[in-house]
Amino acid sequence: MPHEERNNQGNSAGSKLLLSRQRGASSPFVVQVEEKCEDCGGSGYDWGSLSSMEPDECPGCHGSGTQIVRRDYLAEALKIAGGRSAMTPRREHLEAVIQHCRALVEVVMAMPVVR
């Protein structure tokens, strides 16, 4: 499972919508995204409730069908590359790796030449 933290706030926007970058996060590759609720599949209902005619609202998303998820794309990309994750690489993973490599090159190029 990807590195993520669940926050059960109900928003009605579409799945996988990029919301905002984390302020003060330890990594610039950490973002909050809105995804379909894993518990109910985005329906907003708890299909394990006793009444099939009037199912209860999902305890995971409180009926909204979505959840706010904290994602660290660089950490996920490194797990995928190391074979420790079965996730399919996405564009965000590649962008995070490229940005990280550019930052490393910038630091190396700024080092003084030692002779």
CA distance 33 to 6: 10
CA distance 50 to 52: 6
Global pTM?
0.56
The structural domains of the chain, with segments of one domain joined by +, span 4-110
The reported pLDDT for the residue numbered 41 is 84
Digit-by-digit pLDDT tens for the chain (115 residues) are 444 444 444 433 333 334 444 444 467 788 888 889 888 888 888 877 776 677 788 888 888 889 888 889 999 999 999 999 888 999 999 999 999 999 999 999 998 888 8
The reported pLDDT for the residue numbered 97 is 93
Which residue is it, tokens 């910038």?
106
